[in-house]
Amino acid sequence: MSAQLEFDPKGMPFRRLGSSGLRVPVFSLGGWLTLGGSVKGDPVVDIIRTAWEHGINMIDTAEAYAKGESEKQIGRAIKVLGLRRTDLIITTKLFWGLREGPNDGGLSRKHIIEGTKEALERLQLDYVDVIFAHRPDPTIPMEEVVRGFNWVIEKGWAFYWATSEWSAYEIEEAHNVANRLNLIPPIAEQCEHNMFHRDRPESEYEPLYRKYDLGTTVFSGLAQGLLTGKYNNGIPPDSRFATAQEAWFEEVRKGLSSPEGKEKIRKIRELTNLAETELNCKVSHLALAWLAKKPETSTVILGASKPEQVIDNLKALEVIPKLTPAVLEKIEAILDNKPAPVVQTLRTLSPARPLPQGLSLKLEGSWVNLILTLSDTAPNTILMYH
């Protein structure tokens, strides 16, 4: 084992993860498909060392990544590098499990507790900082889910719990249960967010940012590499689109030559031109900076199959201040996919929380389904009551 590596944030900005006291780096590192998957052994150590040396002290993984191998390789790298546990933020996720048994996955109390213990064994750690519900589990009562994660926290196996790819309704339900039972609610949501995937993080969750100060640990900020521009002229043989084994990747590959895929490539070319001529950066830097600039983004989880990719992606930090309102407008004009204004929940419209400017409320029908009349922006947005 080498001597302990001291953590130097190297100018990395840190943000609080939602309403919690946990401070996370604006860019973190993730292990899906790469750490323990396409990359094994000492190259994993090299990627984590490089991230660490550039101010990234947060690593995200999941029980399902490379069937547990991702957690194992990350745990090994932490040991090999001699990283101090208190300097690190480690997050993992439960849902898919590693075996096929009826209780080996999902969000039952049984799997939450057993899954956490097994994940800690693979990571060779006593605790993770945040444990995520990797997906919602509609087959389990929400009270059991909230109580299960609270048990894990009470045992000291995690400091916080959070959700991933839950609907706003499900996150709201978890908060309601936690409030009613005086339990700890989820602090953050791990959601896909990139220039081509915007509706949920920018519209559906918008009331939750204001109401709960919901944090986000966003993933696939480069649309899995698409926003580097390296797929503009086909699929390079050493790239994820070529090497990923998962059956559904066949659809991803085919999608590149569909009309939608071609339209994305056209937009990437325009964004590349903007990045190079006006910002003196690569399109990948622009895509990551655009995401990191958003106030609702707590951390952008970077995926990387090589140390050089981590170093290259961190150049996005220099681009964030260059994203003036005028530049952001140009990006919107190219993307042409700005999500419609938020779907409001009734709670957001309580007397303590006035309507956003420009909205007026008109009741039509029952209290269960209300119609909002919006003055300018989005006529007939449905107001959901729950």
CA distance 218 to 232: 24
- Interacting span for ligand NAP (CB under 6 A) from 31-39, 148-156, 245-253, 261-269: 31-39
CA distance 331 to 72: 40
Question: Which residue has 């029952």 as its token pair?
Answer: 366
30: contact with ligand NAP by CB under 6 A: yes
Of 163, 216, 284, 297, the one binding ligand NAP by CB under 6 A: 284
CA quadruple 154, 140, 125, 91: dihedral positive or negative? negative
Of 301, 327, 349, 359, the one binding ligand NAP by CB under 6 A: 301
190: contact with ligand NAP by CB under 6 A: yes
End-to-end Cα distance, the chain: 55
Minimum CB distance to ligand NAP smaller for 38 or for 203: 38
Closest CA to 218 of 164, 159, 172: 164
Backbone angles phi, psi at 5, to 5 degrees: -90, 125
CA distance 262 to 386: 40
309: contact with ligand NAP by CB under 6 A: yes
Closest CA to 28 of 6, 63, 52: 52
CA distance 84 to 93: 22
- Interacting span for ligand NAP (CB under 6 A) from 263-271, 296-304, 323-331, 356-364: 296-304
Please report how close the Cβ of residue 51 comes to ligand NAP at its closest, in angstroms: 12
Alpha helices in 57-125 (DSSP H): 69-81, 109-123
Please report how close the Cβ of residue 242 comes to ligand NAP at its closest, in angstroms: 8
> Helix 259-274 to helix 325-335 angle, to the nearest 10 degrees?
160
CA angle, residues 272, 31, 293, in degrees to nearest 5:
40
209: contact with ligand NAP by CB under 6 A: no
Name residues contacting ligand NAP, limited to 93-152 (CB under 6 A): 134
Instruction: Please tell me the count of residues contacting ligand NAP according to CB under 6 A.
Output: 30
x/- mask, ligand NAP, residues 219-258, rule CB under 6 A, reads xxxxxxx--x-x--------xx------------------
CA distance 359 to 364: 16
Give the pairing type, strands 369-374 and 359-361: antiparallel
Minimum CB distance to ligand NAP smaller for 215 or for 341: 215
Of 31, 68, 106, 136, the one binding ligand NAP by CB under 6 A: 31
Please report how close the Cβ of residue 192 comes to ligand NAP at its closest, in angstroms: 6
Other C-beta atoms within 10 Å of 158: how many? 23
Please report how close the Cβ of residue 231 comes to ligand NAP at its closest, in angstroms: 9
Of 43, 265, 312, 323, the one binding ligand NAP by CB under 6 A: 312
Helix (H) or strand (E) holding 216: strand 215-218
Query: Would residue 65 show up in a list of annotated catalytic residues for this protein?
Result: yes
Please report how close the Cβ of residue 303 comes to ligand NAP at its closest, in angstroms: 2
Of 20, 116, 305, 345, the one binding ligand NAP by CB under 6 A: 305
> Which residues are within 8 A (CB) of 140 and not within 5 positions of it... i.e. 6 or more apart?
106, 107, 108
- Exposed / middle / buried, residue 260 (Cβ in 10 Å: 0-12, 13-18, 19+): exposed
313: contact with ligand NAP by CB under 6 A: yes
Name residues contacting ligand NAP, limited to 141-180 (CB under 6 A): 164-165
Please report how close the Cβ of residue 324 comes to ligand NAP at its closest, in angstroms: 24
Please report how close the Cβ of residue 87 comes to ligand NAP at its closest, in angstroms: 19
- Interacting span for ligand NAP (CB under 6 A) from 202-210, 252-260, 273-281, 306-314: 306-314
Of 20, 24, 32, 161, the one binding ligand NAP by CB under 6 A: 32
Query: 131, 113 in Cβ contact below 8 A?
Result: no
The set of catalytic residues is: 65
By the criterion CB under 6 A, which residues form the site for ligand NAP? 30-32, 34, 38, 60, 134, 164-165, 190, 219-225, 228, 230, 239-240, 284, 301-305, 309, 312-313
